[in-house]
Structure 1
Amino acid sequence: MTERGRQQLFRSADTLIIGPSRVRWDGNSLSVEIDERGAPIPKRIRGRVRVHPRALTGQLTELDPAGRHRWWPIAPESRVEVELSEPGLRWSGNGYLDCNGGDEPLENGFRQWDWSRTKLSRGAAVLYDTTFIDGQRRALALRFDGTGAAEPFEPPPRTPLKTTFWWRIPRATQADSGQGAEVLETLEDTPFYARSSVRTTLLGERVTAFHESLSLTRFDTPWVQMLLPFRMPRIALGRPARAR
Structure 2
Amino acid sequence: MTIIAFLGSVFSPFYKRAGAAEPTDHAALNVALYGPRARWTMTERRREAVSRERDSLAIGPSSLRWTGDGLLIDIDERDKRVGVPWRRPVRGRIRLVPEAVNARAFSLDAEGRHRWHCIAPRARIEVDIAEPGLSWRGSAYLDSNFGRERLEEGFRVWHWSRAHGASGASVCYEGIRRDGSPFASALRFAADGTPQLAELPMVAPLPDTLWQMQRQVRADRGHASLVRTWEDAPFYARSTVAMRLRGEPVTAVQESLDLDRFVNPVVQFMLPYRMPRG
**Normalized against structure 1, the TM-score is what?**
0.93
1:101 aligns with 2:146: yes
1:145 Cα deviation from its structure 2 partner: 1.0
Structure 1 Cα separation of the partners of residues 166 and 207 of structure 2: 27
Matched, 1:190 2:194: no
Moved more, 150-159 or 8-17: 150-159
Correspondence for 1:168: 212
Structure 1 CA distance, aligned partners of 2:234 and 2:245? 29
User: Partner of 1:146: helix, strand, or coil?
Assistant: coil
Please list every run of 5 or more consecutive structure 2 residues that lacks an aligned counterpart in the other structure: 1-41
CA distance, structure 1, for counterparts of residue 102 and residue 249 of structure 2: 26
Contact conserved, 1:111 with 1:132, CA < 8 A, in 2? yes
- Where does the alignment leave 5 or more consecutive residues of structure 1 unmatched? 236-244
Farther-moved stretch of structure 1 (155-164 vs 13-22): 155-164
Give the Å deviation of 1:34.
0.5
Q: Does the alignment pair 1:230 with 2:230? A: no
Paired residue secondary structure (1:54): strand
**In 2, distance between residues paired with 1:66 and 1:130?**
16
Asked whether the 8 Å contact 1:179–1:201 carries over to 2, the reply is no
Secondary structure of 2:100's aligned partner:
coil
Q: 1:12 aligns with which of 50, 53, 71?
A: 53
Contact preservation (8 Å) 2:151, 2:259: yes
In the alignment, the residues of structure 2 paired with residue 125 and residue 68 of structure 1 have an alpha-carbon distance, to the nearest angstrom, of: 24
Residue 240 of structure 1 corresponds to which residue in structure 2? none
Runs of 4+ in structure 1 over 3 Å off? none
Instruction: Name the CA distance, whole Å, in 1 between partners of 2:136 and 2:230.
Output: 16
Q: Is the 8 A contact 1:179 1:200 kept in 2?
A: no
- Tell me the equivalent position of 2:43: 2
Question: 1:153 is matched with which residue?
Answer: 198
What TM-score does the superposition give when structure 2 sets the normalisation length? 0.82
Q: What value does the CA root-mean-square deviation take over the aligned residues?
A: 1.0
The aligned counterpart of 1:218 is: 261
Alignment of 1:4-153 (within 5 A): 4-40=45-81, 41=84, 42-153=87-198
User: What are the Cα deviations for residues 148-198 of structure 1, in whole angstroms up to 9, with x where unaligned?
Assistant: 100110111211100112x2211101112x241111000111111101000
> How do residues 200-211 of structure 1 correspond to structure 2 at under 5 angstroms?
200-211=243-254
Name the % identity.
48
Between the aligned partners of 1:31 and 1:86, the Cα distance in structure 2 is 17
Aligned length: 233
The answer to whether the Cα contact below 8 Å between 1:143 and 1:152 also exists between their aligned partners in 2 is yes
CA distance in 2, matches of 1:45, 1:172: 32
Equivalent position SS for 1:234: coil
